[in-house]
Amino acid sequence: MTAADSIVQLPAGRFAAIDFRVKLVLLLLASTLIFVWNNLLAQGLLLGFTIALMLAAATPLATIWRLIRLTLPALVLIVVIQGLWSPFGIHPVFTLPQGLPLLGGAHVFTVEGLLFGLVVCCRILVPLLAFQLVFMTTEANDIVLGLTRLRVPYRVALLFSTTFRFVPLLLEEFQAIKDAQRLRGIDLDSFGMVRKLVAMGRMLVPLITGCLAKAQAMEIALQARAFTGSPDRTQLHPGREKLTAAQRAMIALALLFWAAAIVARIAFGMGGSVL
């Protein structure tokens, strides 16, 4: 069994307990290998591996599908555009009849264009799902601890973790505003596209106001605790500051695979062709 297979089979509790630095390395792989490979099979395997990790972390299928559904219109548009006008296109999927004026005999939707469109879709989905996986399974305190162990200034690490902590708060605030509008007889989900955009634009005012109030409350709380951002701090779980031997092995294998993939692409062109 390889190290990658062992990661996939980790139960949710074990996966969440993995050090944030290991997850950052996995995130590095997901964010860079998508540009190293043009091959659809390699991109598909990378996407499948990311989804397998999410399932191993007990991510509901509904959550994964919701993330994909949000980008689905853009993904379909990308595939259509690449299929019609990709410079890689050679073999047509079908050809318009010769008797058609102006467009007669034109090739429509090339095989290579459609395949490269699917590659671009993988390049969008892989980092999207990887970011969701990493920050869904990591507590804010572990993010700060992992970044400070990487010599990131504590103030920057705190700002980074606080930003991601505010994302679910924003979503909850937005949902609360929608529920308040629904109680007043205004159901945004029943509106048309234009009317919904106008209504959502008006909802930005209370949303931004609420976020500013929360940010001010956090500032007061930090000042009340005499926050200075000094790096000389004690940790609640000091034993978690050091990587275990298994985690070091995961990082080493992941970086070795990452370097090998780049060398193979540059030296031998592996993964460069769409097919």
Is 104 within a domain? yes
If we measure between CA atoms, which residue out of 274, 259, 7 comes closest to residue 123?
274
Is 238 within a domain? no
- State residue 122's pLDDT score: 92
Is 240 within a domain? no
Residue pLDDT, tens place only, 147-159: 777 777 777 777 7
Residue pLDDT, tens place only, 163-199: 777 777 777 888 888 888 888 877 777 777 777 777 7
State mean pLDDT over 240-265.
86
Residues 6 and 126 placed together within one structural domain of the fold: yes
Is 222 within a domain? yes
| Residues above pLDDT 90, as percent of the chain | 7
Task: Report the C-alpha gap between 42 and 33 in whole angstroms.
Answer: 9
The CB density around residue 264, as the number of other CB atoms within 10 Å, is: 15
Residues 110 and 46 placed together within one structural domain of the fold: yes
- State residue 9's pLDDT score: 38
Is 171 within a domain? yes
Confidence of residue 256 (pLDDT cuts 50, 70, 90): very high
Is 237 within a domain? no
160 exposed, middle or buried (CB, 10 Å; 0-12, 13-18, 19+)? middle
Residues 180 and 135 placed together within one structural domain of the fold: no
Residue pLDDT, tens place only, 188-246: 777 777 777 777 777 888 888 888 888 888 888 877 877 776 666 666 655 566 777 88
Task: Report the C-alpha gap between 84 and 103 in whole angstroms.
Answer: 13
- State residue 274's pLDDT score: 66
Report whether 60 contacts 246 (CB < 8 A). no
Residues 193 and 225 placed together within one structural domain of the fold: yes
At 110, is the secondary structure helix, strand, or coil? strand
Q: How many domains does the chain divide into?
A: 2
Residues 115 and 197 placed together within one structural domain of the fold: no
Residues 51 and 167 placed together within one structural domain of the fold: no
Residue pLDDT, tens place only, 100-146: 666 555 667 788 888 888 999 999 999 989 888 888 887 777 777 77
Is 264 within a domain? yes
Confidence of residue 96 (pLDDT cuts 50, 70, 90): low
Confidence of residue 253 (pLDDT cuts 50, 70, 90): very high
pLDDT over threshold 80, residue 28:
yes
Task: Report the C-alpha gap between 89 and 97 in whole angstroms.
Answer: 19
* Average pLDDT of every residue of the chain: 78
Residues 69 and 173 placed together within one structural domain of the fold: no
State mean pLDDT over 259-272.
86
Residues 127 and 162 placed together within one structural domain of the fold: no
Residues 106 and 54 placed together within one structural domain of the fold: yes
Residues 260 and 224 placed together within one structural domain of the fold: no
Is 147 within a domain? no
Half-sphere exposure of 140 (CA within 13 A, CB side): 11
State mean pLDDT over 77-90.
80
Residues 10 and 116 placed together within one structural domain of the fold: yes
pLDDT over threshold 60, residue 10:
no
In the numeric block, which tokens belong to residue 81? 């555009």
Residues 44 and 121 placed together within one structural domain of the fold: yes
Domain boundaries, position 193:
154-230
At 173, the amino acid letter reads E
